[in-house]
Amino acid sequence: MSMVETKTRILDAAEGLFARQGYLGTSLRQVTGEAGANLAAVHYHFGSKETLLQSVLERRLLPLGAEREAELNRLLVRMESGEVVEVETVLEAFIGPTMRLCESSARGAEFSLLVGRILADPGGPGQEMFAELVGPNIELLLRALQAVLPDLDSELLLWRVHFCLGAMSHSLCLGHLPGFQGLVPQSVDTQTVLGRLIPFLTSGLEAP
Amino acid sequence: MSMVETKTRILDAAEGLFARQGYLGTSLRQVTGEAGANLAAVHYHFGSKETLLQSVLERRLLPLGAEREAELNRLLVRMESGEVVEVETVLEAFIGPTMRLCESSARGAEFSLLVGRILADPGGPGQEMFAELVGPNIELLLRALQAVLPDLDSELLLWRVHFCLGAMSHSLCLGHLPGFQGLVPQSVDTQTVLGRLIPFLTSGLEAP
DNA sequence: GGGCGATTAAAACAAACGTTTTAAAGACAT
DNA sequence: ATGTCTTTAAAACGTTTGTTTTAATCGCCC
């Protein structure tokens, strides 16, 4: 029996393969091959391919979401007691946990690619799961930003938050875009991404 | 024989299905079913599924790319003769053709969803095709923006252009994100998108 | 009408897929 | 050692897939 449990090995393999190849582009035989597990083990531990995807997403997004929620709630509390909070502080609270995940391991960075895939796959198996897991975070972000930018129309704010999500999601995929040879920045470590993304988004959100 | 050629019917069907379900999520039998054509007709006219995707992309991106090139080149000429051009004018030259495509038909709008999918699918069959077709446009955009923002570090500009691409791509998918009930803006007509996206991106690009 | 190339139709092929079935092995407690 | 539950293994199942094969139909020209 390996040090790492079969279940975890399957999750790790699935996460990586779903991220690199997409959900439909990944067969369970590929997952089990990489995990050194048996096909029936997937069904024993997870029941179905789709439930495996759910588990892959929850494993990352539940703790990430909790972290974001905690950070954003702290900011809301501070604002309620009269403290002035900057847009970029709110953005960091939302984006920071994702960046730290990317930084913590290559696997974490790969997960962001899976998120990008899911965002671009309406009607696909991951999107409703994702919306359910991340929706509350987005709502909290909207509330926090609205508090910081009280004069900004709420519909426009919603639009701008989506622009932010798009920019963020795409930038986290940049390290994985070999098709864009020569049109991809050299350095794609997460600190660099954050250092460039936040000012861009801050200015965008504060635009007249 | 129908008014519309078999080949075109297949292209139309494939475009819509690839956009709505993804390349891998769409079988050729689905395509032929919607096109009212026979399976062998796909191979007769296109050779393979992957070549069909290539044709779907070229059908839209070649004219779109030519239009963008013409508009961006006109701007470059004007700048070379000393005229002052704004960031937002350059952005409109790049984004405008896409928006007009979306506006021209529901099918055009759906195509943008296919683009979003491709951007999020590194290593997938569409991305290299896309990069080849759109890469030159992006290079031209970079040149035009660099001319307008001469003090902006070129690496940072490249990053910001990618943020723009991400924001644009995601926003064009918004009409297709049923999973985000309640977190999607009500009105998603292209004029609205453009009216909100351009100021956001302009400010982001001009950020300190 | 016949000939020829273009185009479509339908069946077949080989492989791949997620799920199911059956049984064996492993782990733990008595 | 035995019993029981958990976990893994391997084969099988039924369906789907892109591609190929064979033949018929269509369209055009002489």
pLDDT in tens, B119-161: 899 889 998 899 999 999 999 999 999 999 999 999 999 999 9
8 Å CB contact of B120 and A163: no
B24, B159, B162 ranked by CB distance to A24: nearest: B24
Q: pLDDT digits over A98-131, tens only?
A: 988 888 877 888 898 999 999 899 889 998 899 9
Instruction: Please name the member of B113, B117, B170 whose beta carbon is closest to the beta carbon of A169.
Output: B170
Please state, as a whole number, how many other Cβ atoms lie within 10 Å of the Cβ of residue B76: 17
User: Do residues B68 and B137 make contact, with C-beta atoms less than 8 angstroms apart?
Assistant: yes
Q: According to the model, what pLDDT value does residue A178 have?
A: 58
| Kind and range of the H or E run holding A104 | helix A87-104
**Residue A82 token pair:** 């009269």
- The per-residue pLDDT for range A132-157, each reduced to its tens digit, is 999 999 999 999 999 999 999 999 99
Measured between CA atoms, the residue of chain B closest to residue A200 is B204
Q: How far apart are CA B56 and CA B60, in angstroms?
A: 7
| Cβ contact B157:B145 at 8 Å | yes
pLDDT of residue B187: 66
Strand D: list positions under 7 Å from protein Cβ. Answer: 7-12, 16-22, 26-27
Q: Do B208 and A203 touch (CB under 8 A)?
A: yes
Q: Mean pLDDT across the stretch A184-199?
A: 83
pLDDT at A177: 63
Q: Which residues of B touch A123 (CB under 8 A)?
A: 20-21, 176, 178-179
**CA R_g for chain B:** 19
What pLDDT, in 10s, does the model give residues A72-106?
A: 999 999 999 999 999 999 999 999 999 888 888 77
In which band, very low, low, confident or very high, does the pLDDT at B184 lie, cut at 50, 70 and 90?
A: confident
Instruction: Could you list the beta-strand ranges (E) of B59-126.
Output: none
Residues contacting residue B179 through CB under 8 Å, at least 6 positions apart:
A122, A123, A127, A128, A130, A131
Average pLDDT over residues B9-21: 96
The one-letter code for the residue type at B174 is L
Which residues 6+ apart lie within 8 Å of B188 measured at CB? B174, B175
Q: What is the pLDDT of residue B160?
A: 96
Which tokens sit at B174? 């918004």
| Contacts A173 to B, Cβ<8 Å | 119-120, 122
| pLDDT score recorded for residue B2 | 44
Query: How is residue B2 annotated by DSSP?
Result: -
Q: State the burial class of residue B91 (Cβ atoms within 10 Å of its Cβ: 0-12, 13-18, 19+).
A: buried
Query: Rounded to an integer, what distance in angstroms lies between the CA atom of residue A23 and that of residue B185?
Result: 28
CA distance linking residue B157 with residue B155, whole number of Å: 5
Question: What's the token pair of residue B183?
Answer: 């977190």
pLDDT digits (tens, 9 = 90+) for A18-72: 999 999 999 999 999 999 999 999 999 999 999 999 999 999 999 999 999 999 9
Q: Where are the alpha helices (DSSP H) in A22-48?
A: 28-35, 39-45
When the pLDDT of each residue in chain B is averaged and rounded to a whole number, the result is 91
CA dist list (Å): A1 to A5, A39, A57, B151 = 8, 17, 26, 60
Three-state DSSP state, A66: helix
Task: Establish, for the pair of chains A and B, how many residue pairs have beta carbons separated by less than 8 Å.
Answer: 189
Residues in chain A: 208
Residues 6+ apart with CB under 8 A from A154: A142, A146
Residue A2: pLDDT band (50, 70, 90) is very low
Q: Which domains does chain B have, with CATH numbers?
A: 1-47 (1.10.10.60), 55-205 (1.10.357.10)
